[in-house]
Amino acid sequence: MSVAGVTGVKEADAAAVAPNVERIRAASGLPVAVGFGIKTPERAAEIARVADAAVVGSALVEEVATGLAMNESVTARVLSKVESLAKAVRSARVESLTV
């Protein structure tokens, strides 16, 4: 729904996804999650403004791979990434509630 392609390759476009999210939400009455192409806190925030959840996968796999390759703590790398993504999503949610 957010991008067509292989996971981890392209970035999601919130403006392009928004009409689909609204259509699915209206038809189902259920929360809508968007995945594919969410790698940065900025992109997660953009998606959080139009969808009920942002699904992140490849970005975390990349952190694991980088941590292993650099002999760093994989746990610390992944936790740092998750914290930055979560902070961005929370900020986007607060913004959308005050608008």
Q: pTM score, two decimals?
A: 0.81
pLDDT digits (tens, 9 = 90+) for 8-47: 546 778 999 999 999 999 999 999 999 988 999 999 999 9
Report pLDDT digits (tens) over 44-92.
999 999 999 999 999 999 999 999 999 999 999 999 999 999 999 999 9
Distance from C-alpha of 97 to C-alpha of 99, rounded to nearest angstrom: 6
Task: Say if residue 91 is exposed, middle or buried (CB neighbours under 10 Å; 0-12, 13-18, 19+).
Answer: middle
